[in-house]
């Protein structure tokens, strides 16, 4: 039992610690980049923010001042023109979804590795172009699934793989937040299909239970179906103020998921197998105290574990794999599968029928 | 806060306590009747088991000896022939699903009130016949939804009605158990479509999240869709060794639900609204310590409350409404709506399309 505790947060992916630092160009300087991503690189021994890239030069300059490393501030246009390419090794892309591709394309052109926020793009076509562009240029592409380097999720995955809960049978996963309380402006990119993709709640939140279930089960979706509705004025351009979706996985497991940008902050992930269950709740918000539980034979272990900085784990994983030439688990093709599944989820909600993948 | 605790278990439905006792004929003497229902009537001040009815006279005699009240033992045939009608006021029907109707019909013929286990019958047609038969005979019909008199569920319903969590947006509900561990015989009625209805997991377990969501939301389903699969040998005659189903309610709330007869015992109910969430977990097993939680504005109250005997609450509610001529909330038409929704869930899983109700 004490090993379970002392080893809970271990970086099982880490084989080397003495590695050359990776210098990042941070593209898209919204609150997530400023308050989560840049601070993570500052905490990291193997990552640093050396370039910051924004649509507006002034904003880039302001953010450059926040960053410790006397970063170079450039605009999107300057980035695409190849400015400061000597000053970074990799690009972190955190723009609106539908703008990820263009930055990945420029990065690939410059031979820079890409860490792209999820969802990786707005449509399967664009996501596929990103994959192919990076493959053709032979640059590393990782999709920024911070749950995949979250200890609770990695431990859940190990337990499932080892058979601790028997054969997985069913997953429940949810994520909701009050988007308009967080960003009190209906004119924002997450509510604009030109920038977000086919919708908001599934694209931005539903991807967490979807991808985390895939990762924990080590399985991929074979069919989806969905209900979605929007009634609030702010959600008139997107179909999914709230959505539920079901997923059938290639190992036979079924998942019941939900997502909402207009509900109280809430999240959970629960995997029930023939012999037990493993759960993380709250699950998906990085500034909440996530809790882990395992139940087998009616005996339940609940863990309040030392929370990690999820963005630090994610950036360190990316840098580690890059510097050790290791495989990236959430690579472009992995991310593309989610984009395809989510496109099918939206299509299912629209058409009222199951979509096979 | 102290009121919230001291009042948590209150019987808000109870207006009178000094009432004439209701004498029950217990029909179908499986373990549930023997270990849950009859003991509840023994504990109750206003219910008693006076007649026990089984397919086999010897079994009825054996169970009669268990019951405190020197109950009269009769067979199904004797029941239908009108035996011992002077000795009971109401009938509790706990046979396999597809046999409920015939006992309700006889009870109606004898002018006896009916407390019928859920699901009330195997098909909508048979459930509708039960409703109409009881209405025509002017006998009370209640479907035995023990969650509706469970304090945690009643408090959740009150909170939702009062707006404590804002507008309900999404519900998660699950129930699973290892049926073949509980009853180690693949040749059992719950796995036989002639007796169970179109399937096993949704009919026997999925009805809990479905009906409890209806009750807590005070809303009814307008559309459903479902995934179901059976791969285990014991489940070859039913489609749903495991199933997920989504429900759209007439108030706009969506629900993501699951049920499995071949998974570890697990259950939860969570209702997330625009302002907060209310949950019960574990939720649906009567011999588990259910837990209640309410979260509003990031403040979370978890209640370990004094567990009630759910069957005692249910029997006392039925008897109270019967003796006070009160309305029965889970009446025949209420139960029929679940049977119709579940028939649509099975049809959806079979056809791969949304079913409107």
pLDDT in tens, A52-99: 999 999 988 888 887 766 799 999 999 999 999 999 999 999 999 999
| Band (A225; pLDDT cuts 50, 70, 90) | very high
Confidence of residue A320 (pLDDT cuts 50, 70, 90): very high
Would the CB atoms of A174 and B174 count as touching at under 8 Å? no
Distance separating alpha carbons of residues A28 and A248, to the nearest angstrom: 35
Cα dihedral sign, B155-B160-B161-B163: positive
Rounded to an integer, the average pLDDT of B3-8 is 89
CA of B273: which chain A residue's CA is closest? Answer: A263
Summarize the confidence of residues B4-23 as an average pLDDT.
94
Long-range contacts, stretch A63-72, CB < 8 angstroms, 24+ apart: A63/A26, A63/A29, A63/A33, A63/A34, A63/A38, A66/A34, A66/A38, A67/A26, A67/A38, A67/A42, A68/A42, A69/A42, A71/A26
Q: What share of chain B has pLDDT > 90, as a percent?
A: 93
In chain B, positions 283-342, which contact chain A (CB-CB < 8 Å)?
Answer: 295-296, 298
Comparing A62 with A50, the larger pLDDT belongs to A50
pLDDT at residue B62, as a whole number? 87
SS3 label, residue A19: coil
What does the buried/exposed string (b/e) look like for B321-347 if buried means 16 or more CB atoms within 10 Å of the residue's CB? bbbeeeebebbbebbbbbbbbbbbbbe
Q: Tell me, what DSSP letter sits at residue A353?
A: B
pLDDT digits (tens, 9 = 90+) for A244-291: 999 999 999 999 999 999 999 999 999 999 999 999 999 999 989 999
Portion of chain A with pLDDT greater than 70, in percent: 99
What's the whole-number mean pLDDT along residues B239-250?
A: 98
Per-residue pLDDT, averaged over B268-277, amounts to 98
The residue that leads in pLDDT, A260 or A17, is A260
Res A68: pLDDT? 63
B151 contacts B308 by C-beta, under 8 angstroms: yes
Q: Which of these ranges, A238-242, A250-254, B2-6, has the smallest mean pLDDT?
A: B2-6
Per-residue pLDDT tens for B50-92?
Answer: 999 999 999 888 888 877 667 999 999 999 999 999 999 999 9
Per DSSP, the three-state class of B271 is strand
- Residues A167-191: what's their mean pLDDT? 97
Report the C-alpha gap between B253 and B271 in whole angstroms.
9
Residue B122 to residue B202: CA distance in whole angstroms: 12
Neighbour count for residue A288 (Cβ, 10 Å): 15
Euclidean distance between CA atoms B296 and B93, whole angstroms: 41
pLDDT of A36 higher than 80? yes
CB B263 to CB A170 under 8 A? yes
Name which of A73-87, A228-242, B63-77, B161-175 the model is least confident about. B63-77
Nearest-CA neighbor of B119 among B345, B319, B281?
Answer: B345
Tokens representing A17 are: 């610690």
Mean pLDDT of all residues belonging to chain A:
96
Omega cis (within 30) before A119? yes
In this complex, which of A231, A252, A272 lies closest to B252 when CB atoms are compared? A231
- C-beta of residue B27 within 8 angstroms of C-beta of residue B53: yes
Which of A272, A296, A299 is the best mutation test for B, with the most CBs of B within 10 A?
A272
CB contact under 8 A, A244 and B298: no
The angle at the Cα of A240, spanning A235 to A242, to the nearest 5 degrees, equals: 100
Chain B within 8 Å of A350 (Cβ-Cβ)? Answer: no
Task: Give the model confidence (pLDDT) of A196-218 as tens digits.
Answer: 999 999 999 999 999 999 999 99
Kind and range of the H or E element at A82?
none
Query: What pLDDT, on a 0 to 100 scale, did the predictor assign at position B68?
Result: 63
Q: Calculate ∠ Cα B151-B130-B83, nearest 5°.
A: 95
The DSSP annotation for B184-212 comes to: --SSSGGG-HHHH-S-SHIIIIIHHHHHH
* Residue A33 DSSP code: I
What mean pLDDT do residues B307-330 have?
98
Instruction: Kindly identify which residue of chain A lies nearest to residue B352, measuring between CA atoms.
Output: A354
Tokens of A12: 């099982």
- Listed by number, the residues of chain B in 136-195 with a beta carbon closer than 8 Å to a beta carbon of chain A are 165-166, 169-170, 172, 174, 176, 178
User: What's the pLDDT tens digit per position in A107-138?
Assistant: 999 999 999 999 999 999 999 999 999 999 99
B166/A264 Cα distance (integer angstroms): 9
State phi, psi for A278 to the nearest 5 degrees: -130, 140
Q: What is the mean pLDDT of residues B231-256?
A: 97
Contact A211, A338 (CB under 8 A): yes
Q: Are strands B262-273 and B276-280 parallel, antiparallel or unpaired?
A: antiparallel
- Provide the 3-class DSSP secondary structure of residue B162: helix
| CA-based nearest residue to B201, from A254, A248, A250 | A254
B interface test, pick of A160, A245, A263 with most B CB neighbours within 10 Å: A263
Task: Please write the tens of the pLDDT for every residue from B114-133.
Answer: 999 999 999 999 999 999 99
Q: What is the pLDDT of residue A186?
A: 93
Query: Whole-angstrom Cα distance, residue A174 to residue B171?
Result: 10
How far apart CA B119 and CA B97 sit, in angstroms, is 7
Residue A272, chain B, CB below 8 Å: the answer is: yes
Partners of residue A247 on adjacent β-strands: A224, A255
């Amino acid at each position: 039992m004490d090993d379970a505790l002392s080893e809970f947060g271990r970086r099982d992916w880490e084989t080397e610690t003495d590695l050359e630092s990776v210098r990042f160009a941070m593209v898209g300087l919204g609150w997530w980049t400023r308050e989560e991503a840049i601070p993570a690189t500052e905490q990291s021994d193997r990552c640093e923010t050396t370039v910051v890239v924004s649509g507006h030069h002034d904003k880039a300059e302001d953010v450059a001042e926040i960053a410790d490393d006397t970063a170079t501030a450039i605009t999107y246009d300057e980035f695409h023109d190849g400015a400061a390419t000597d000053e970074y090794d990799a690009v972190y892309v955190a723009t609106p979804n539908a703008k990820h591709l263009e930055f990945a394309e420029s990065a690939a052109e410059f031979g820079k590795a890409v860490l792209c926020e999820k969802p990786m793009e707005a449509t399967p076509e664009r996501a596929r172009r990103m994959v192919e562009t990076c493959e053709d240029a032979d640059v590393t592409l990782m999709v920024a699934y911070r749950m995949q380097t979250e200890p609770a999720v990695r431990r859940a995955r190990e337990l499932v793989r080892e058979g601790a809960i028997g054969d997985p049978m069913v997953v429940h996963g949810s994520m909701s937040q009050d988007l308009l309380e967080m960003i009190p402006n209906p004119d924002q990119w997450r509510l604009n299909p030109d920038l977000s993709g086919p919708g908001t709640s599934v694209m931005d939140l539903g991807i967490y239970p979807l991808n985390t279930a895939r990762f924990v089960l080590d399985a991929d979706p074979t069919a989806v179906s969905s209900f979605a509705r929007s009634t609030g004025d702010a959600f008139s351009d997107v179909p999914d103020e709230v959505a539920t979706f079901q997923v059938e996985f290639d190992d036979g497991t079924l998942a019941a998921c939900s997502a909402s940008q207009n509900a109280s902050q809430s999240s959970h992930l629960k995997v029930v197998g023939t012999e037990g269950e493993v759960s993380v709740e709250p699950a998906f918000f990085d500034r909440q105290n996530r809790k882990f539980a395992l139940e087998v034979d009616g005996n339940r272990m609940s863990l309040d574990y030392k929370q990690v900085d999820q963005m630090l784990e994610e950036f360190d994983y990316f840098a580690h794999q890059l510097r050790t030439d290791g495989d990236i688990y959430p690579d472009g093709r992995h991310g593309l599968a989610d984009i395809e599944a989510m496109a099918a989820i939206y299509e299912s909600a629209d058409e009222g029928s199951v979509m096979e993948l």
